[in-house]
Amino acid sequence: MTRLIPWMVVAVLLCGAMAPTVWAQDAEPAPAATEDAAPAEAGEPAEAEKAAEKPAADAVAEEVAEAGESAESHLSKQVDDIAKSVDESEMAQETTAGILTPIYRVAEALEFPAFHWIAFALMLSGVVGFALQLVIGKLVVFAHFGFSMREILSDLLGFVISAVGLVLTTQAAAQNSTFTQSPFAVISASVVGLVVGVILYAWGQSQEVDAVRGRAAAAKEKTVEKK
């Protein structure tokens, strides 16, 4: 046993000598924590800047919205003032009377069911004709490799005018005549309007196709002349 004591002392000394080295190795990763903490500390000012920029952006957006609302209210107020001044002007009232008086006289002279029958048929024919021209007619023109924005806009304007006229005619007929109270009158006017609308569509389509062919022939002549 006494022989083991020196070996035990040597082992203790070796353990004591090796312990600081091990502790040092275990303690070395500690600076990494400081290195990891450094980016976090560096990121804090960036987050603070972003947080400070958000209220500024919100303030700018609110100022822009308030400026738009104030401009809109100012414009609407100016329009109301102009309209009020025009309504109170005697010259404007005389001009309005000069425009509406002849129309009122013609309307009073035409207050009979036959006029509303004719007007209803004409407006319905316009709606049918221009609607077909806008859909089927333009497809036929495209099939002939033709396109005209002016024709599309003119047909669209004609359709809108005819639709508004049909609504106003029906309203006037309901208030001032017995046209809407007669099923025969309404059905007969609708049939006539449909037939006339189809005829107008066929006529307009033939004109547009002829125009496309004429433009194509003129373009070929120009290319031949250039050669």
Concatenated DSSP letters for 152-218? HHHHHHHHHHHHHHHHHHHHHHHHHSSGGG-HHHHHHHHHHHHHHHHHHHHHHHHHHHHHHHHHHHH
User: Which pLDDT belongs to residue 167?
Assistant: 94
For residue 89, how far is the Cα from the chain centroid?
A: 38
Alpha-carbon span 210 to 98, nearest angstrom = 44
Q: How many CA atoms lie less than 13 Å away from 210 in the CB half-sphere?
A: 6
CA dihedral 130, 133, 138, 143 (to 10 degrees): 180
User: Which pLDDT belongs to residue 213?
Assistant: 79
User: Which pLDDT belongs to residue 54?
Assistant: 59
The answer to whether the CB of 182 falls within 8 A of the CB of 133 is no
Residue bearing tokens 């069911």? 113
- Positive or negative: CA dihedral 214, 219, 224, 226: positive
User: Which pLDDT belongs to residue 187?
Assistant: 95
Mean pLDDT, 10 residues at a time, the chain of 227 residues = 45 44 43 44 52 62 74 80 85 88 84 87 94 89 79 91 93 86 93 95 86 76 72
